[in-house]
Amino acid sequence: MSFGDPNNPYGQSGYGHPPQPQQPGQPDQPGYGYPQAGQPQQAQQPGQPGYGYPQAPPVYPGAYPGGMAVPMEMPGLMKTSRVLLFINSGFQILFGLLAGIAVGAAQDLSNGVGAGEETDVLAGAGYFAAAFLLGLGALSIFLGVKFSKGGSGIRITTIVYAALMILVGLLWTVGGEGGSVTFLGIVFLVIAGIILASMVNSQASAWFNRPRY
């Protein structure tokens, strides 16, 4: 049995044999790691990251093109509280002015009859109450304006304001003896109660703690 020419350095088995010349008309043999001529390269499927290429930033639902977040809309309960703050400020400023005018007129009358010194203390208390109402009215307007851009500090201030208004409403309701002051006390209690309830729920927490852009 012949095992080939012993002087042949490539041996009979063909291992290590130099590549044979390609016959005319024979198709190209596929090479390792190289695309075949005339065959389209497989396109990279969308959504799969390519090596060495940065991925586009994800766009989340509710975002503008480019990944910018959509501004959060003020909840309906916050809008209601804001309107009540403006309404309450109107009442407070009006009654503060009327109280100041009434106290001044009463003091002028006392001075006319020579009893001005005896009513000075009462007039001072009346002026303080009028100034207090005017201050609450200004605070109501400030809080209502800041509802759109304010943070947790505005929320805490509104809670304190509503609690103070509830206290004033209780005093007027009890001390009004069923008159007009009692009616005003009830009105203030209702308005302040709604504002306070709207400030201590989850909607208020989400609104005032929202991210600012």
At 27, which helix (H) or strand (E)?
none
Average pLDDT over residues 88-111: 87
- Kindly write down the DSSP assignment for every residue of the chain, as one continuous string: -----TT-TTTTT-TTPPPPPPPTTPPPPPPTTSPPTTSPPPPPPTTSPPTT-PPPPP--TTB-TTSPBPPPPPPHHHHHHHHHHHHHHHHHHHHHHHHHHHHHHHHHHHHHTT-TTTTHHHHHHHHHHHHHHHHHHHHHHHHHHHTTT--HHHHHHHHHHHHHHHHHHHHHHHHTTTSHHHHHHHHHHHHHHHHHHHHSSHHHHHHHTPPP-
Is residue 18 in some structural domain? no
Domain residues for the domain of 126 are 76-208
Residue 80's pLDDT is what? 92
pTM of the full structure: 0.61
109 pLDDT higher than 70: yes
- Count of domains for the chain: 1
**How open is the CA angle 29-35-38, to the nearest 5 degrees?**
80
199 pLDDT higher than 70: yes
Is residue 158 in some structural domain? yes
Q: What is the distance between the alpha carbons of residues 14 and 81, in angstroms, rounded to a whole number?
A: 92
Is residue 69 in some structural domain? no
**Higher pLDDT residue, 89 or 19?**
89
Ramachandran class of 61: left when φ > 0, alpha when ψ lies in -120 to 50, beta otherwise: beta
Q: Are 89 and 141 in contact (CB under 8 A)?
A: yes
Q: What is the distance between the alpha carbons of residues 79 and 97, in angstroms, rounded to a whole number?
A: 27
Is residue 5 in some structural domain? no
Segment 1-56, tens digit of pLDDT: 455 555 555 544 444 555 555 555 555 555 444 455 555 555 455 545 545 545 55
Segment 168-183, tens digit of pLDDT: 889 888 887 777 778 8
Is residue 17 in some structural domain? no
Is residue 105 in some structural domain? yes
